Amino acid sequence: MSIDVFYNKKEDKFYAELKEKVNNYFKEKNISKKGNIKMYLITAVLLVITYGSYFLILFGNLPEIVMLLLACVMGVGIAGIGMGIMHDGSHNSYSENKFVNYIMGSLLNFAGSHKYIWDLRHNSLHHMYTNVYKYDYDMVKIWLVRHSPEAPKRWFHKYQHIYASIMIYPYYTLFWLLFYDMFHLRVFSEFAEGDQRKHPFMKIVGIIFWRIFYLFYIIVIPYLLLDLPFWKIMTGFLALHVSTSAVLCPIFQVAHIMENTTHAIPDKKGNLKATWAENQVTSSSNFSLNNKLLTWFCGGLNYQIEHHLFPWICSIHYPDIHPIIKKTIEKYKLPYNNQPTLLKAYASHLRFLKKIGNE
């Protein structure tokens, strides 16, 4: 596999004008493009909710049903940390301080994945080749669901709009933990640092260490400290992952895998007709922009177009720069994809799955 996709090299007047307007906004307001007190408050609340639930389970001497509910709360909190803290850290948009960004981005390690794999898959490939099949590895998940019109078609895909929400999406983070990362670690060898044939040894050691650490604190410690049979511990573990997946998966899917988003196809020379910025606009979709609680919780990922055009700007600023971006997109007659609610966005996603499953 090789990266041979190149965007249209024409002068991108749209993005040049957009960057100038957005930069002027921050200059006029005399504020940083990175996080502020609101971001730090979000961080504190999500960390307290998540790991407060964990310690209550271990030391609260609570009824089993309450501990199970707290496992679900912890799962939702982990999803919030991933979207609202880790994501900004991984894009170096959380803080002006690079070390702080690294620490926040590394919170993913506590959820059983690893920052190194995320940076390769998400930052390097997804943000560069959004919705381009075989290059955007946020789309290449498992063959049971066909997310791209270019993906191989199998007979059972005509039912994917039914079984995906029931049998696949609720276990998304379990697939991630057990298979997804390992698969991508293998195919990402070409994009490894330095030697293009293998990943740095210490990165591999780190990935193994953090996975063992995650399983130790999330399964072994509760089993040792709680007077519960192992199957009940695993029930809580499953409840945590289903809760995390129930939050993450719909938000991840409706950002790009939609009826109204594009899936650019390179020509025989590996070229795309669009510029990079044009592809970010047409391949992304916003949703629930008026829902301040959702914006707070999901780290501004409902402002997906804003994020893909300016991933280095902290998500806390997306609602403020949204009018500038929307007006400029409309000026250049590009589509501005938006769904009024998360529910309507998810319905559009399922209709898209049905469509490409029955082509």
pLDDT (tens digit per residue) in 96-146: 999 999 999 999 999 989 999 999 889 988 999 999 988 888 776 678 899
Going by pLDDT thresholds of 50, 70 and 90, the confidence category of residue 176 is confident
Q: Which helix (H) or strand (E) holds 286?
A: strand 286-287
Q: Residue 324: phi, psi to the nearest 5? A: -65, -45
Residue whose pair of structure tokens reads 């670690």 in the numeric block: 185
Q: Are 219 and 233 in contact (CB under 8 A)?
A: yes
Per the listing, tokens 């403020």 go with: 320
| Straight-line distance from the first to the last Cα atom of the chain, in angstroms, rounded to the nearest whole number | 27
Is 7 a member of any domain? no
191 — pLDDT class (breaks 50, 70, 90): low
Instruction: Please check whether residue 4 lies inside any domain of the structure.
Output: no
- The pLDDT of residue 3: 55
Contact status, residue 89 vs residue 107, Cβ threshold 8 Å: yes
d(CA 76, CA 50): 8
In this structure, is residue 228 part of a structural domain?
A: yes
Q: Is 30 inside any structural domain?
A: yes
143-160: average pLDDT: 91
Q: Count how many domains the chain has.
A: 1
In sequence order, which residues have a C-beta less than 8 Å from that of residue 45 and are 6 or more positions away?
A: none
Per-residue pLDDT at 1: 45
> Residue 4 — pLDDT band, cuts 50, 70, 90?
low
pLDDT band at 57 (very low <50, low <70, confident <90, very high): very high
Q: What pLDDT score does 17 carry? A: 96
Question: What pLDDT is recorded for position 141?
Answer: 64
Confidence (pLDDT) at 309: 97
E strand or H helix at 184: helix 181-187
Residues 289/302, Cβ–Cβ less than 8 Å: yes
- Per-residue pLDDT tens digits for 60-92: 999 999 999 999 999 999 999 999 999 999 999
Pairwise CA distance, residues 136 & 266, whole Å: 13
Residue 48, pLDDT > 90, answer yes
Structural domain includes residue 1: no
Choose among 44, 39, 130, 47: nearest CA to 93: 39
> In angstroms, rounded to a whole number, what is the distance separating the alpha carbons of residues 169 and 249?
6
169/148 Cα distance (integer angstroms): 17
Q: What is the predicted pLDDT for the residue at 184?
A: 72
Q: Which two tokens stand for residue 84?
A: 């609202």
Q: What is the mean pLDDT of residues 50-68?
A: 96
pLDDT 10s digits, 246-278: 999 999 999 999 999 999 988 888 888 899 999
Q: What percent of the chain has pLDDT over 90?
A: 79
Top-confidence range, 3-7, 42-46, 124-128: 42-46
Q: Compute CA distances 330 → 42, 142, 279, 333, 340, whole Å.
A: 32, 36, 15, 5, 18
236 residue type, one letter? G
Collect all residues with Cβ–Cβ distance below 8 Å to 296 and sequence separation of at least 6. 42, 84
Helix (H, G, I), strand (E, B) or coil at 129: coil
Mean pLDDT of 287-309: 95
Nearest to 34 by CA among 104, 109, 97: 97
Chain position carrying tokens 């050691």: 205
Among 337, 296, 343, smallest CA distance to 318 is for 296
Q: Which whole number is the average pLDDT over 23-33?
A: 96
Q: Inform me whether the pLDDT recorded for 296 exceeds 80.
A: yes
* Integer Cα distance of 38 and 320 in angstroms: 14
SS3 of residue 339 by DSSP: strand
Of 234, 228, 124, 249, the C-alpha closest to 180 is: 249
Domain that holds residue 259: 13-357
Considering the domain boundaries, does residue 37 fall inside one?
yes
Share of the chain above pLDDT 70, in %: 95
Q: Write down the pLDDT at residue 11.
A: 80
In a domain, 5, yes or no: no
Given a cut of 90, whether residue 201 has pLDDT beyond it is no
How far apart (Å, rounded) are the C-alpha atoms in residues 82 and 112? 12
Kindly provide the b/e burial profile for residues 155-171, where b requires at least 16 CB atoms within 10 angstroms of the residue's own CB.
eebbebbeebbeebbbb
